[in-house]
């Protein structure tokens, strides 16, 4: 009895401390991450007004008692001007999809090359991949502009070498957007691919080759299935942020390359229509729900990114 009480008293700070360790981040994230999303949802159902803040409160208690300003008008507006809002949405998905594909085309051989190098070269190449990841993507996109501009480096070099007669329009095209996406997101595709490729058993490939498998056969039946988790993880890491990307279409795209991030930005900062901007944010979230949930589900099963996941802890 006394021993039990002593044990309880000794453990008391530990138990309180434990609660604190959980509660601190939970409360912080609930207040500064979850509540804001609820607030955005609310604002997406109010109407804009002139004033500060530039939207009506969704509900409140005034002189006449409880009142609401609930309206679905912002979503109706998105539907009414279908092509102005859903056009960019489809465009975002299309550009993100092909950016993911282009990243995969470059990242796959790069990761293979890194995974098959000897240890010294592997470190060097990995540092080369990580280095851009640690530098500002804004500055790297800025550097790309210097390359692609009508009077930029590529055009100047092409003219000087006589390869082209007049500057080629590369900026403000799909090409410049894809280049920007590859420049920004390539490391995110390489890292999970590298992680699965480095674990690939070289003996397996040798055995397959000894048994007479052609290069294509070995790739299709062994390499591709074994690296599929890396392909999926990398693709999600690129696709999800690419859909909501703002900086790349804003700096590299033209007026025709509208993407959702840019449309939201314009509604918010230029038109100052915060409710419509909030509705676009909700639309963007709705589009991303499927890949985000799929990413978490994937993470529960395997992959590289160590995301918090209760399933894994239960298994382990």
Partner 1 sequence: MGRMNGLVLSLGALGFGILYLPIIIMIIFSFNAGKLVSVWSGASLKWYAGLLENDQLLSAFGTSLLIALWAATIATIFGICIAVAFVRFGNFRSRLALSAIASAPLVMPEIVTGLSMLLLFISMESLFGWPSGRGVDTIIIAHATFGMCFAAVVIQARLRDFDMAIEEAAADLGATQPFIFLSITLPVIVLFLSITLPVIAPAVVAAWLLAFTLSFDDLVIASFVSGPGSSTLPIVIFSKVRLGVTPEINALATVMIVVVAVAVIGASWAIRRRLSGRDQNQ
Interactions with partner 1, residue window 292-311 (CB under 8 A): 292, 295-296, 305-310
For 94, the 3-state DSSP assignment is: helix
Whether 304 contacts 191, CB under 8 Å: yes
Among 8, 26, 221, 224, binds partner 1 (CB under 8 A): 26
User: Who contacts 282 (Cβ-Cβ below 8 Å, separation ≥6)?
Assistant: 40, 41, 44
Characterize 302-314 residue by residue with b for buried, 16 or more Cβ atoms within 10 angstroms of its Cβ, and e for exposed: ebbeeeeeeeeee
Task: Establish if 224 lies at the interface with partner 1 (CB under 8 A).
Answer: no
Closest CA to 94 of 231, 245, 282, 234: 245
Residue recorded with tokens 């449309």: 263
Site for partner 1 in 179-208 (CB under 8 A): 179, 182-183, 186-187
Least separation in angstroms between residue 86's CB and partner 1 is 17
Is 264 a binding residue for partner 1 by CB under 8 A? The answer is yes
- Applying CB under 8 A, among 132, 198, 266, 298 the residue interacting with partner 1 is 132
Which one of 2, 5, 9, 10 is in contact with partner 1 (CB under 8 A)? 10
Binding mask 37-76 for partner 1 (x = CB under 8 A): x-xx--x---------x-----------------------
14 binds partner 1 (CB under 8 A): yes
Range 267-286, binding partner 1 (CB under 8 A): 268-269, 274, 277-278, 281, 284-285
Residues 153, 146 contacting (CB under 8 angstroms): yes
Q: Which of 91, 99, 100, 155 binds partner 1 (CB under 8 A)?
A: 155
Distance CA 28, CA 160 (A): 58
Q: Which of 101, 163, 209, 286 binds partner 1 (CB under 8 A)?
A: 209
What H or E segment, with its residue span, contains residue 68? strand 65-68
């Amino acid at each position: 009895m006394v021993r039990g009480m002593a044990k309880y008293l000794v453990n008391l700070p530990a138990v309180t401390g434990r609660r604190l360790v959980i509660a601190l981040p939970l409360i912080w994230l609930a207040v500064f991450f979850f509540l804001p999303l609820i607030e955005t949802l609310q604002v997406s159902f109010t109407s804009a007004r002139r004033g500060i803040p530039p939207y009506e409160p969704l509900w409140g208690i005034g002189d006449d008692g409880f009142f609401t300003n609930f309206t679905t008008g912002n979503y109706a507006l998105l539907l009414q001007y279908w092509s102005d809002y859903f056009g960019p949405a489809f465009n975002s998905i299309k550009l993100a999809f092909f950016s993911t594909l282009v990243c995969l085309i470059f990242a796959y051989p790069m990761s293979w090359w890194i995974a098959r190098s000897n240890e010294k070269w592997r470190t060097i190449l990995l540092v080369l991949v990580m280095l851009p990841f640690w530098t500002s993507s804004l500055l790297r996109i800025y550097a790309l502009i210097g390359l692609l501009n009508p009077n930029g480096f590529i055009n100047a070099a092409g003219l000087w070498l006589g390869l082209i007669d007049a500057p080629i329009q590369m900026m403000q095209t799909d090409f410049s957007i894809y280049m920007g996406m590859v420049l920004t997101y390539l490391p995110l595709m390489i890292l999970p691919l590298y992680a699965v490729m480095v674990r690939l058993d070289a003996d397996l490939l040798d055995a397959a080759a000894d048994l007479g498998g052609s290069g294509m056969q070995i790739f299709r039946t062994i390499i591709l299935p074994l690296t599929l988790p890396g392909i999926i993880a990398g693709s999600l890491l690129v696709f999800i942020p690419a859909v909501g990307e703002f900086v790349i279409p804003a700096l590299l795209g033209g007026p025709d390359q509208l993407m959702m991030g840019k449309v939201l930005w314009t509604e918010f900062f230029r038109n100052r229509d915060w409710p419509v901007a909030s509705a676009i944010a909700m639309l963007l979230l709705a589009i991303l729900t499927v890949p985000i949930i799929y990413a978490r589900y994937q993470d529960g099963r395997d992959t590289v990114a160590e995301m918090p996941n209760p399933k894994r802890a239960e298994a382990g």
